[in-house]
Structure formats: structure tokens, C-alpha cells
Amino acid sequence: MSEDLKRLNKYLSEAGYCSRRAADRLIEAGRVTINDVIPEMGTKVAPEDVVKVDGEIIGERKQDFVYLAFNKPVGIVCTTDTRVEKDNIIDYINYPKRIFPIGRLDKPSEGLILLTDDGDIVNKILRASNNHEKEYIVTVDIPISQTFIERMSGGIYLEDLGKRTKKCVVKKIDKFTFSIILTQGLNRQIRRMCEYLNYEVQTLKRVRIMNIQLDLPIGQYRELTKEEFNTLNNLIADSVKTYEDNQESFRKSRR
């Protein structure tokens, strides 16, 4: 019987409702019930249990997962909480199935973002420890110096986040434009790095996530090709999904 039990956050992600991280937030907010009772974090679900989010029954998956590439316009917010944010990505795309974004681009930014209903793939792509590349084209307000390129590349301590950015690849494109490849996803990371060096971001566009290139008009989406998905799967094959997975991998490496 115990092998039939699933942690509630895993159940919600495998059902295609949201990622595990988002599921944890829903559980903490008391929006999830099991058999009409609000559960504690870490509660496990049995096959016969009825799971609801905001009163809506969430059932086991019966269809294939969806994987979309979307060119997000400036002004659209990467949230699934359609009750709070009117300019949200879910209403904008209006996809016929429930999907959610993998990561985020802030409201003033544009470019490539992936969406899916596969909760287990999310952390594999997003965790900085997995070193998956994301590439951006950025314009700033004053001419780019060699010192700027070197300091951005070498890592910058962001005092308000209490973290140093990882080393990254930064290349000057023209007087006011540069490209940057990150394997990290700190909140407003590029904008904060530029601000630290007294530059202000004018435009920020994500043009690549791992092997997926931005090739869509603004506001349009498409399904990943079979080749793109297979390559993506190969790239994340050895990626850990969660902190617990990461710790287990570390313990095994020490044996």
C-alpha cells in the first residue's frame, strides 16, 4: 500500500496542475484539500483520495504532456494566479489545457519562455546547480566598457539578495548592447548586476533556453519539435529535480 502513496506536491505536479514548488505554495495557503480536509505539508495521497484545489477536483493524468515555446511580450506577467494579475501569461496565451511557465521573465522583459503541464521537468531545468544555459540580449543606457564586461563576467555580489552571481559569458555586441549567458536565475539578476555597475537596462530579451532558440513573433507560441524535446531530455537526463535529490546525489558521490 505504501508504494501507492504520493506526496501531495508530487501528485499535483504529475496531474499537470502546477510545479512542485507552486504546489507547496498552494498547500501552505490552505487552497488544497484531501477529502475536503486541509492537509499539512508533506501529506501523502492514496489512490482513493479526492484532491481539490480551490474546490476543483484534480485527477490523475490521462493525456500526454504539453511543451510550448512562447515569445513573451513586455507587460505580461509570468504567473498562473489569474485571479490577481489581469495581464497574466495564462490568460494571454489562452491555451485549451492547464499549463504553467517554467521559470519567469519579469514584466518589463520579453522573449523566450517555456510552458508545460509536466511538473517534474520544471526544477530539472531551473535549478542553478544543474548549469543549464539561458541567453539574453540586453541594451543599456550608457556605453559599454571593457571593465563592465569583465565585472559582469566574473560575478557580482548582490547585497540585497546576499548572493554572488556565478561566472558567466558576456559579449559586447555594439556600443549599448551585450549578450549574456547565465546558468542561474536570481530575481531580476541581470538588472541588479547592471544597477550595481551604474548601468540601467533599457531592453532585455531572452533568446535561448538550453537548446531552444527564440524563433517566434512577439506574442506567439508553438509546440516544441520532437527533435528539440529529445535534445532537451538528453540535456536534463542527469539533472536533479529537488534539494533532496541533490543531497542524495552528493551522498552517493561521497561513498
Each residue of 171-191: pLDDT tens digit? 999 999 999 999 988 889 999
pLDDT of residue 244: 41
146: number of Cβ within 10 Å: 8
pLDDT at 18: 82
Q: State whether residue 110 is helix, strand or coil.
A: strand
Name the burial class of residue 170, with classes exposed (0-12), middle (13-18) and buried (19+) by CB atoms within 10 angstroms of its CB: buried
* Res 251: pLDDT: 38
**From the candidates 24, 54, 106, 238, which is the catalytic residue?**
106
pLDDT at position 63 is: 63
Per-residue model confidence as pLDDT tens digits over 45-87: 988 889 999 988 887 665 688 999 999 999 999 988 888 888 9
| C-alpha–C-alpha distance, residues 114 and 101, integer Å | 6
54 catalytic, yes or no? no
**Pair type for strands 110-116 and 201-209:** parallel
User: Cα separations (Å) of 118 from 21, 147, 166, 228, 230?
Assistant: 13, 42, 28, 16, 15
Quote the pLDDT of residue 243. 38
Q: Which backbone phi and psi does 59 adopt, to 5 degrees?
A: -105, 175
The reported pLDDT for the residue numbered 242 is 43
The pLDDT of residue 234: 87
The whole-number pLDDT of residue 227 equals 93
Hunting for cell 485527477 — which residue is that? 59
**What is residue 1's predicted lDDT score, i.e. its pLDDT?**
47
Q: Which residues of the chain have pLDDT under 50?
A: 1, 128, 242-255
